[in-house]
Amino acid sequence: MGYALMMGPCINCGQVFGFNPNKVPSIRVKGQREPICKLCVEWANSERKKKGFPLFAINEDAYEPISEEEL
């Protein structure tokens, strides 16, 4: 059994980070899912909280390796 960690840039800040491609928070840009790093989601949630908007859910496994069977 093996594991994989997807690497890519955050759509907001551009920082390259590791993530689980099935659970990472993302947005659609021109029909393509684009990942958002944990720091940017946390920042967005702090801004949303100030404005009384619902927070984005962050899956506990979003930034962890994924089992190769899940790919």
Do 6 and 20 contact (CB within 8 A), yes or no? Answer: yes
The whole-number pLDDT of residue 1 equals 77
Helix (H, G, I), strand (E, B) or coil at 68: helix
Amino acid identity, position 16: V
Nearest-10 Cα torsion for 22, 14, 51, 64: 30
The whole-number pLDDT of residue 11 equals 97
Among residues of the chain, what percentage have pLDDT more than 90?
Answer: 90
pLDDT in tens, 36-53: 999 999 999 999 999 999
